[in-house]
Structure 1
Amino acid sequence: MHIFLPIAEVSVNFMLLLGIGGAVGVLSGMFGVGGGFLITPLLFLIGIPPGVAVATSANQVVASSVSGLMAHFRNRSVDLKMGYVLLCGGLAGAALGMVVFNRLKQLGQVDLAVQLCYVLFLGVIGALMFVESINAIRKSRQAGAPPSRKRRQRSWIHALPYKMRFKASGLYISVLPPALVGCGVGILSAIMGVGGGFIMVPAMIYILGMPTKVVIGTSLFQIIFVAGFTTVMHATTNHTVDVVLALFLLIGGVAGAQLGTVIGARLKAEQLRVLLALLVLSVSVKISFELLLQPADLFTLTVLSLP
């Protein structure tokens, strides 16, 4: 059964929308990502205009993240103090990202800019995560047992001022790196319609040194507010949030997030990172092919002179 989406101005099978929302919800619960990096390209593929897809996917990210966060709260795997620092940077970044998005829209380059951002960020981060995770699994098997978490050596992060103790993560570091990570994620959220978890999760693990289990819940906490702020900004400035489309994505996303949390709790940290890396790389490759292949419909613009 097809339904008409008033803002997108297309008709889509509602079961397909529920399936997309459910799949993204599972990812949210498993990996601590909002899933916008996957749902936006999927909406492109079923004919949703890019502007509507970006704005509406940010709305879906909020719902799936809330559902996953509640499950992580029950497991006590959320560092609220770190989440607040990330959130401050994220809101500032989202405001800056909206300025950039509106400027690109005026220039008519939003579609190309969004796709290039996906290819660049997903490709680089996915490759780095995959290599690191494979090495970690190989070392674990060679040792015959999962290696114990080593204490991180002091780096340039520990030399920065304005230090704060994050008990849930076992860290005593400057608030500047997490604030900058949050700011970068906020910019991506506004431009790409993503929660930014595919950037934030690796950054929290490899740069800040947070435990993987705490990272997932903390990432969802920050994503909720940044994606919500982005949705409001798109709705008020560009009027591109399709409520009907968002509703079906939300229903599927909330149910999927609960399932994803259960699955994620049964997998090892290295296995979670490998799965996330493979998913990120596959999306990057798919978008790259779309940019290189000739589109099915070609359009030419000509200027007609009036008599």
Structure 2
Amino acid sequence: MDVYLPIANLSVNGLWIIALGGLTGLLSGLFGVGGGFLTTPLLIFSGIPPTVAAASASTQVTGASISGVFAHARRKGVDFKMGGVMIAGGVVGAIIGSLLFRFFESIGQIDVVISILYVVLLGTIGSLMLREAITALRPPQDGVTRKAAKRRHHRLVAMLPLRWRFYGSGLYISPLAPLILGTVVGILTMLMGVGGGFILVPAMLYIIGMSAGVVVGTSLFQIMAVTMVATMVHALTTQAVDIVLAALLLLGSVSGAQIGTQLAQKARPEVLRVILAAIVLAVAIRMLVGLSYQPDEIFSVSGL
């Protein structure tokens, strides 16, 4: 079933795009990630221009996140106060990211920047997550099962002023920590078309020290709002959002997120982290190969 994409100016298999949306929706419900870190590279691998892929993927991430937030909110798995602070930072980050996007686009380097960001961020985070998850799964050498240490926020977070109580997360920390985190994620959302969950989830666990029970839902709540803003900014500035492509992705992602949320309640968190880390590393390696691969025919444009 071929479908014409007006902004990308090419035809694609509509069923493949819907299936891709379902897969990223499943990841959204399972891991609390928007799924954009997988959607954008797979769209690029399918021949979609990187600028259109990044802008349109943020629209699909919004749909998957909305579905996941409702599912987690029903079991009180969302810290709305913490999410609200991160959303404020995300809006600022989206504006900064849009300026960076237009700058790199104006000098003709936006495609390379997007690819490099994927390789560096996904490679680093995937490696750290895989090491931590494998350590958690490995049985103790002395045969004694140890109780997991209580999660605490990073010492740099403790140094920040103006502390607030975040009852949903059980924390008493400065709002500057989630505000800065939200700003960074907002910038990445604009540049890479990602929700930022693959950065949010580890940062919320190991830097902010949030309870594991509310991390996934709160991450999706922040992703939902920031990707809405990012989509509107892209539509007004870069004009790279392909509504047909976004609609096809949304068809699959909403139902996939519901299925992922149900599976997440039954699976071991350590196993889920191993799977997510393996997926992240696989995408990073594929993007690295794409950066280093030299095509058979090289074209150049020179002034007369």
Q: Same fold (TM over 0.5)?
A: yes
Residues 1:195 and 2:195 are matched in the alignment:
yes
CA spacing shift, 1:5–1:163, aligned 2, 3 Å: same
Deviates more, 1:160-169 or 1:219-228: 160-169
Show CA shifts across 1:195-222 (max 9, x none).
Answer: 1111111100110111223110000000
Residues 1:290 and 2:299 are matched in the alignment:
no
Match of 1:218 in 2: 218
Letter in 2 for 1:45: F
**Using the alignment, how far apart are the partners of 2:292 and 2:239 within structure 1?**
31
Partner SS, residue 48 of structure 1 = coil
Contact preservation (8 Å) 1:94, 1:187: yes
The percent identity for this pair of structures is: 48
User: What are the within-5 Å matches in structure 2 for residues 137-176 of structure 1?
Assistant: 137-138=137-138, 147-150=147-150, 152=152, 155-176=155-176
**Using the alignment, how far apart are the partners of 2:92 and 2:250 within structure 1?**
26
Match of 1:29 in 2: 29
Match of 1:38 in 2: 38
Deviation, structure 1 residue 81: 0.8
Runs of at least 5 residues in structure 1 that lack an aligned partner in the other structure: none
Match of 1:124 in 2: 124
Match of 2:102 in 1: 102
Contact preservation (8 Å) 2:152, 2:210: no
Deviation, structure 1 residue 73: 0.7
**Using the alignment, how far apart are the partners of 1:208 and 1:154 within structure 2?**
6
Match of 1:275 in 2: 275
Show CA shifts across 1:48-80 (max 9, x none).
Answer: 111111110010000000011111011111111
Residues 1:265 and 2:260 are matched in the alignment:
no
Contact preservation (8 Å) 1:185, 1:195: yes
Contact preservation (8 Å) 1:77, 1:217: yes
Residues 1:240 and 2:240 are matched in the alignment:
yes
**Using the alignment, how far apart are the partners of 1:294 and 1:151 within structure 2?**
46
Alignment TM-score, normalising by the size of structure 2? 0.96
**Using the alignment, how far apart are the partners of 1:188 and 1:261 within structure 2?**
25
Contact preservation (8 Å) 2:151, 2:210: no
Contact preservation (8 Å) 2:178, 2:208: yes
Contact preservation (8 Å) 2:5, 2:242: yes
CA spacing shift, 1:211–1:268, aligned 2, 3 Å: farther
Deviates more, 1:188-197 or 1:272-281: 272-281
**Using the alignment, how far apart are the partners of 1:84 and 1:40 within structure 2?**
26
Contact preservation (8 Å) 2:153, 2:209: no
Q: CA RMSD in A?
A: 1.7
Show CA shifts across 1:221-276 (max 9, x none).
Answer: 00011111011111111111111111110010001101111111112222222221
Partner SS, residue 11 of structure 1 = strand
Show CA shifts across 1:265-303 (max 9, x none).
Answer: 112222222221111111101100111111254212243
Partner SS, residue 4 of structure 1 = strand
**Using the alignment, how far apart are the partners of 1:154 and 1:35 within structure 2?**
27
Match of 2:301 in 1: 301
Deviates more, 1:132-141 or 1:232-241: 132-141
Contact preservation (8 Å) 1:213, 1:269: no
**Using the alignment, how far apart are the partners of 1:152 and 1:257 within structure 2?**
29
CA spacing shift, 1:242–1:156, aligned 2, 3 Å: closer
Residues 1:256 and 2:249 are matched in the alignment:
no
User: What are the within-5 Å matches in structure 2 for residues 11-90 of structure 1?
Assistant: 11-90=11-90
